[in-house]
Structure formats: structure tokens, C-alpha cells
Amino acid sequence: MSPVAAGRPRDPAIDAAVLAATLDVLREQGYGGFTLEAVAARAGTTKPAIRRRWPVRQNLVIDALAGVLVTPPAPDNGCTRCDLTASVRLLAEALDERLPPGVLAPLLADCARDPDLHRRLVDTVVGPSREAAATAVRRAVGRGDLRPDVDPDMLVDMLASAVYQRALLGGAAQQPLPARSLADLLLRGAAVDFDRLVRISELPPEARHAHPR
């Protein structure tokens, strides 16, 4: 939550109403039509009251978006192919399904000139699902499924790039992201034995952790 000046304690009910109203306005009007006046009217409060709580309006939007995102557990299916496919889906869910459509690209542009705002936006929107994916990749390297020279962060960036492109440039609404095909494309270059990972992915879930490495 954005810092505010010292004074009368904040009313949590007003904070919650403003955050909910922010999401409603973003869903209905998009980022281009977003105004504090519209939020104030929807929340039953005033623009100055919102300004006291969120002096920077981008921080209000980021806080509202944080409320619809979750911190997912790292995929752990005992199956590297399954885990990387799930990682792509986690990234896509955060950007394609949970965020109001048409908000991320203009918000990112709006925050680009302020390094602190930009970092806060990225950490809030992308950070949780990206870290879950990175944990899954590091686990795969550790158990010998991926080549030891694989850079987990670079591999996650490659997995995520297709998701980010769709979220920022469009395409998410037209067709589902082919998560399995994307994971397979990268695994063909990064896996020690791709065919073996395919065989493990075809086992029943209860048999995957017990499969010999």
C-alpha cells in the first residue's frame, strides 16, 4: 500500500471501496478512461480523500491490481515437462485472466519514466508467477533433467516472453496460449534427454516422483 502523510488513521472501509471501485472503472473504461473522479463517485468518497491515500495515481492502480493477483506455489509434479507447462500457464493466468483487459500496456508505458514505479509494477504483476516458474526450473536443473549449464533466469525469460508479448501487444483473447508446445520447444534445447521427460509426463501423477532419474 502506498505511504500517506501522518494524521487521522485511515478508514479500511474507504480503502477497500476505493480499490474495488478502481477495478470496476478499469474493467469498464480501460486505462485510458480511468479517472479519480469516476473512482470517487463509485466508491462514495471524494477525489481529495483518494489523493491523500494515493498521491500517485499509478500506485492506486498497482494496489488494485495486486488485489486480484495471487502468489502461486511453484509447480512440483515430479515431471519437468509438466512443471514448465504449468509455469507458462501461471504466467498467462496472471496477465491474461486476472488483470482487466487493455490495462497492462498503457500502465507500463505510464510508469516507464519513473524507475521506482516501473519496478513496483513489475514486482507486483509479474514477480510472483515468475518466481514460481524460476523455482520450478531450478528444481529441474538440480535433479538433472536440464543441462547443468542452463541459466534458470534466462530460461524463464524465454518462457515468459511469449506470454508478455501477447499481454502487451494483443492476442490473448483470440486463442489460448499453447503452453505445452512452448515448453517443449525450449526443452528440446535445454533438456538432457527430452524423450525421457516426455515419457515421465505420460505416467500417472502418482508414479512421476518415483520414476528413476
Span 103-124, mean pLDDT?
94
In a domain, 148, yes or no: yes
Residues 92 and 43 in one domain: no
The mean pLDDT of the chain is: 88
* Tally of domains within the chain: 2
In a domain, 72, yes or no: no
N-to-C CA span, the chain: 45
Residues 191 and 95 in one domain: yes
Q: What are phi and psi of 191, to 5 degrees?
A: -80, 150
pLDDT of residue 174: 60
In 10 A of CB 103, how many CB atoms?
A: 21
Residues 108 and 187 in one domain: yes
Say what percent of the chain tops pLDDT 70. 91
Output the nine-digit C-alpha cell for 159.
518462457
In a domain, 70, yes or no: no
In a domain, 5, yes or no: no
Residues 91 and 123 in one domain: yes
What is the per-residue pLDDT across 150-194, written as a single tens digit (0 to 9) for each?
998 999 999 888 888 888 887 555 677 789 999 999 999 999 999
Please name the residues in contact with 130: beta carbons below 8 A apart, sequence gap of 6 or more.
91, 156, 160
Asked whether residue 8 carries a pLDDT value surpassing 60, the answer given is no
Round to whole Å and give the CA distance between 79 and 83.
Answer: 6
Q: Can you give the CATH number for the domain in which 92 is found? A: 1.10.357.10
Residues 200 and 103 in one domain: yes
pLDDT band for position 3 (50/70/90)? very low
Say what percent of the chain tops pLDDT 90. 63
Asked whether residue 82 carries a pLDDT value surpassing 70, the answer given is yes
Asked whether residue 213 carries a pLDDT value surpassing 60, the answer given is no
Identify the residue with better confidence: 142 or 1: 142
In a domain, 74, yes or no: no
Asked whether residue 4 carries a pLDDT value surpassing 80, the answer given is no
In a domain, 120, yes or no: yes
For the whole model, what pTM was predicted? 0.82
Q: Can you give the CATH number for the domain in which 44 is found? A: 1.10.10.60
> Which of 1-10, 15-24, 121-130 has the lowest average pLDDT?
1-10
Span 52-71, mean pLDDT?
94
Residues 107 and 20 in one domain: no
Range of the domain at 37: 12-57
In a domain, 4, yes or no: no
Residues 22 and 104 in one domain: no
Whole-angstrom CA distances from 54 to 21, 50, 62, 100, 115 are 14, 6, 11, 20, 18
Q: What is the dihedral of CA 204, 206, 209, 210, to 10 degrees?
A: -90
What is the per-residue pLDDT across 116-152, written as a single tens digit (0 to 9) for each?
999 999 999 888 989 999 999 999 999 899 998 999 8
CB-CB contact of 86 with 159 (8 Å): no
Residues 27 and 126 in one domain: no
Asked whether residue 5 carries a pLDDT value surpassing 50, the answer given is no
Residues 154 and 197 in one domain: yes
